[in-house]
């Protein structure tokens, strides 16, 4: 299957699964469930779930075994966007080409909506079947630690505190590791765990996810400079306005592009233990992310 067809089909499968897992938009109390559907079904690319499913596939697992974790990852990602967009944080009006949650439902409801999505990610995770090598507790520990104050939330804290501060490249990498790479790495890890991956498979996919996550954030920083708001679906040029340290700001646009290419190559190299055929899809995805319009 051609990559673009595959990505579309997988995103559709993830959306269908999420529709089945989530409470209906009409469920009582209605406002919060409507808000949850509004932000979840806004046409996201479903990158994290797709990586989770692809990791499961690379290890020879069954897609259905990875689906609860795949959807849990997307809910955690979406909650972090809803809260990051709040006026008290990044204060953004636009996300995935639509008004942000608090613009439509108000700030209080947006806080609760994010809370509900975060909580729901663990409702989903509790549906996962333990694999031989990995208990249900291992899955929960993986996602919870990644979402915690040491990783995802810690990254947002550093990001907030880093505004108007001139960061070094090392400081920037530290934020990117926590804010972006950790959840991408967990996407690969949870997919691998759901297929009962061996320790060496898990380690290879972790490294792939880590490097891919760093590359992804460098590319995101570049796109913020070079693309239009319309194309991004979120406010472009935002980083410069709030004087946020980004890759292009710290090392320049050309060096940033080179860095993204290097990280992507390193990510692909991490897949060597899988051989060419088994790792093909993951390599295709990595190449595709690097070639996003910028």
**Cis bond before residue 29 (omega within 30° of 0):** yes
Find the binding residues for a copy of itself in span 27-86 (CB under 8 A): 27-29, 31-33, 36, 79, 83, 86
Largest alpha-carbon pair distance within the chain? Answer: 52
What is the phi/psi pair of residue 94, to 5°?
A: -130, 135
User: Judged by CB under 8 A, does residue 114 bind a copy of itself?
Assistant: yes
Region near a copy of itself per CB under 8 A, out of 44-52, 111-119, 186-194, 249-257: 111-119
* Contact call for residues 29 and 105 (beta carbons, < 8 A): no
Q: How far is the CB of 99 from a copy of itself (least distance, A)?
A: 17
Q: Select 135 or 229, whichever has its Cβ closest to a copy of itself.
A: 135
Tokens representing 129 are 């079947």
Strand partners, 80: none
User: Judged by CB under 8 A, does residue 115 bind a copy of itself?
Assistant: yes
Q: How far is the CB of 40 from a copy of itself (least distance, A)?
A: 12
Cα gap 209→185, rounded to integer Å: 4
Q: Select 32 or 54, whichever has its Cβ closest to a copy of itself.
A: 32
Residue identified by tokens 């108007």 is 164
Find the binding residues for a copy of itself in span 136-165 (CB under 8 A): 136-138, 140-141, 143-145, 147-150, 153-154, 156-158, 160-161
Residue 122, CA distances (Å) to 142, 171, 210 in order:
11, 31, 23
* Contact call for residues 65 and 56 (beta carbons, < 8 A): yes
User: Judged by CB under 8 A, does residue 125 bind a copy of itself?
Assistant: yes
Cα gap 30→263, rounded to integer Å: 44
User: Judged by CB under 8 A, does residue 251 bind a copy of itself?
Assistant: no
The residue ranges that bind a copy of itself (CB under 8 A) are 23, 27-29, 31-33, 36, 79, 83, 86, 88-89, 106-112, 114-116, 118-120, 122-123, 125-128, 130, 135-138, 140-141, 143-145, 147-150, 153-154, 156-158, 160-161
């Amino acid at each position: 299957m051609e990559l673009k067809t595959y990505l579309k089909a997988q995103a559709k499968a993830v959306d269908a699964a999420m529709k089945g897992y989530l409470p209906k938009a009409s469920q009582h109390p209605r406002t919060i469930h409507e808000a949850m559907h509004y932000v979840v079904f806004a046409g996201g690319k479903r990158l994290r779930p797709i990586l989770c499913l692809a990791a499961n596939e690379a290890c020879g697992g069954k897609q259905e075994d990875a689906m609860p974790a795949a959807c849990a990852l997307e809910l955690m990602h979406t909650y972090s966007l809803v809260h990051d967009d709040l006026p008290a944080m990044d204060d953004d009006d636009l996300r995935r080409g639509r008004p942000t949650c608090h613009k439509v439902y108000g700030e209080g409801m947006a806080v609760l909506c994010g809370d509900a999505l975060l909580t729901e990610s663990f409702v989903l995770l509790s549906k996962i079947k333990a694999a031989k090598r990995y208990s249900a507790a291992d899955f929960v520990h993986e996602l919870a630690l990644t979402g915690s104050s040491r990783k995802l939330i810690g990254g947002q804290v550093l990001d907030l505190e880093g505004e108007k501060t001139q960061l070094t490249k090392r400081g920037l990498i530290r934020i990117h590791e926590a804010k972006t790479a950790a959840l991408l790495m967990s996407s690969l890890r949870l997919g691998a765990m759901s297929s009962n991956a061996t320790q060496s498979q898990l380690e290879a996919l972790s490294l792939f996810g880590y490097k891919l996550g760093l590359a992804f954030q460098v590319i995101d920083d570049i796109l913020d400079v070079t693309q239009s708001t319309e194309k991004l679906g979120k406010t472009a040029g935002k980083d410069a306005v709030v004087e946020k340290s980004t890759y292009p700001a710290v090392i320049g646009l050309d060096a940033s592009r080179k860095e993204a290419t290097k990280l992507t190559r390193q990510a692909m190299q991490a897949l060597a233990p899988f051989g060419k055929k088994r790792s093909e899809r993951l390599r295709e995805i990595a190449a595709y992310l690097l070639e996003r319009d910028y």
